[in-house]
Chains A and B, each alone.
Chain A
Amino acid sequence: MKVNKVYSYALLIPAGLIYGLLFLYPTIMSFFFSFTRWTLTDWEWIGFENFIMFFEESSLMIGFKNTFIFAFLTAGLKVVLGLILAVILTSQLKTKRFIRSTVFFPVLVSTIAVGIAFSVLMHPSEGLINQTLGLFGINGPNWLGNPSLAIYSVAFVDVWKGVGIATVIFIAGMMSIPKDYYEAHQIDGGNKLNAFWYITLPLSRPAINAVIILALIGGLRTFDLVWAMTGGGPGFSSDLIASIIYKQYQAGFYGLSTAGNVILFIMVAVIVFPIFKFLNRREVDL
């Protein structure tokens, strides 16, 4: 009791006040305002109208679908590619420091800059990607102009930019696996593929879980990359919930925009939270 007194709540107040007022309070209020027609100064209760609109308008509904695809696709690719890179970078390779830095650097570059650069590289006729494909006689697609392809092109760039984080997390996980396991495996006559399958992969579980959760949260909230590359277009074909929130805000539909926020909140809670629980349970079983 006496010790708790020294660790006074007073030390918690500044952080709590800022976080409470500018993060928690708006989050709680978003649930209320999502049921209103809202002008910032005035509101009118309209029940579920905003939410019904979200699921009836095809231009809004598509954002819901895209967000889902985007989050799971990028998370999956980051795990697979990150694992491959991490295995390569924990090997005997002498240039691994250079490669690791190169893979990681895009993480620190601004998303908008990356988005702009890739939207030029993905230009259908002049862009470097299709020019290179042309050298091999391949007629490259219109990466960002084709409505059914645009969201996947953006997802590819998101993986390009973010795989570095997954890689360094995997490397940290793999470095902490005791070398004895691999030695024992070698003495038993096991090959390298088996070593990956039966030692590296199961013992990297905590790192894999962390990457899945981080990538899903990041993917569900993505806005800037889509905004820089397609602006949600062509049409609404590559809109994500986060870009719809922005568009509705710009258009002055504050209630509708906030309903988008609430839907995003619920998506994160419904998707990420159960996965988090599930993954952690498996971890305990090991």
Chain B
Amino acid sequence: MSQQTEAKKAKQKKSLTRIIVEVIAVLSCAVFFLVPFYFIIVNSMKTSAEASQLSIAWPNEFRILENIQEVLAARDNMLLLAFFNSTVITVSSILILLVVCSMAAFVLHRRKGKAISVIGTTFLAGLMIPPAVVPTIWVLEQFHIFKTFPGIILVMVAISIPFSIVLYTGFIATIPKSIDEAAIIDGCGGFRLFFSIIFPMLKPIHSTVIILNAVQIFNDFVHPLYFFPGSDNATVQLTLYNFMSMYNTDWNLLFTNVLLITIPPFILFLIFSEKIVAGMTAGSVKG
């Protein structure tokens, strides 16, 4: 009897230490990783005067709706325009990437020979090589597409091609070749084989490619800065940058802006976090 209670006590003690460990883990992680986000959210709700204290205190006066209105209206609805521009760039780039990269990955994986492996390596090199800035502008100007949607979209596609091809190649490797062979015997040509049989089978990896590129392109600051300048061409990340000089001290508005442009990736994260993690780890280990 006493032995039993002792064992029970030991078990309780053990579970208590476990709870303590869990609490410490969660707390330290929250302090380190969540406080900056808490700081952004709290300050986006304050008045300009209160936000200028840069503290994490709870707001005395809630101004989040007014702040959102003000941020949206600033500079002739610049943020709305930026959301539109970023959406156009993100969606168009992804649509092109889906088609061209899956096609390319299919040939790169299935075809054998020296030439194709050289081409494959050339694509992979894009994972390492930093894009050449001014020469790219120079090329865009030759085609008269500098500062235009087609220009920035094609640049985004070009720099996203290597990683997307890595993702597709990894997935196509799991599709048995016997499927191709059966289709070939039935008289399917290359294009029909790909578009009517292989492409629909790529659904799971399509969604990974869509989500990863959506986050990447939507959050991109550097490339729109270089290849899509001009106030009519604002993209969401650049609104922050323009904002900083304009509202030097209006931190509440700046953080409201940060909050608004973080919402789309946050929603993707909530719905697809497993998929994002899987895609990033698979792609990176192979790349």
Contact = CB atoms under 8 A, between A and B. Distances in A.
Interface of A: 3-12, 14-16, 18-19, 21-27, 29-30, 33, 38, 40, 88, 93-95, 98-99, 101-114, 116-118, 120-121, 123, 126-128, 131, 160, 165, 168-169, 171-173, 206-207, 210-211, 214, 217, 220-221, 223-224, 227-228, 242, 245-246, 249, 254, 257-258, 261-262, 264-265, 268-269, 272-273
B100 interface: yes
Contacts of A10: 190-191
A273 B129 CA distance: 11
Contacts of A228: 240-241
Contact of B130 (A5, A94, A264): A264
Contacts of A9: 107
A263 to B, nearest CB: 10
Nearest to A223: B222
B135 A33 contact: yes
A94 B25 CA distance: 10
B254 A27 contact: no
A101 B273 contact: yes
B122 interface: yes
A16 B118 CA distance: 13
Interface of B: 21-22, 25-26, 29-30, 32-37, 39-40, 53-56, 96, 99-101, 103-104, 106-108, 110-113, 119, 122-123, 126-141, 154-155, 157-159, 161-162, 165, 180, 184, 188-191, 193-194, 215, 219, 221-222, 225-226, 236-237, 240-241, 244, 251, 254-255, 258, 261-262, 265-266, 268-269, 273, 276-277, 280-282, 284-285, 287
7 contacts: A4-B112, A93-B22, A111-B219, A120-B251, A169-B284, A246-B133, A249-B134
Contact of A22 (B154, B221, B244, B282): B154
A6 B100 contact: no
B100 A15 contact: yes
Chief secondary structure at chain B's binding surface: helix
A-B pairs with lowest CB-CB distance, top 4 = A26-B135, A30-B132, A15-B104, A22-B158
Contacts of A101: 269, 273
B161 A169 contact: no
A19 B161 contact: yes
A116 B132 contact: no
B29 A102 contact: yes
Contacts of B100: 14-15, 18
A144 to B, nearest CB: 14
Contact of A221 (B32, B130, B132): B130
Contact of B54 (A93, A111, A114, A128): A128
Nearest to B110: A7
A121 B134 contact: no
A172 B281 contact: yes
Given A15-B103, A22-B139, A22-B155, A110 B261 contact: yes
Given A99-B29, A254-B134, A224 B222 contact: yes
Contacts of A128: 35, 39, 54-56
Contacts of B261: 110, 113
A108 B265 contact: yes
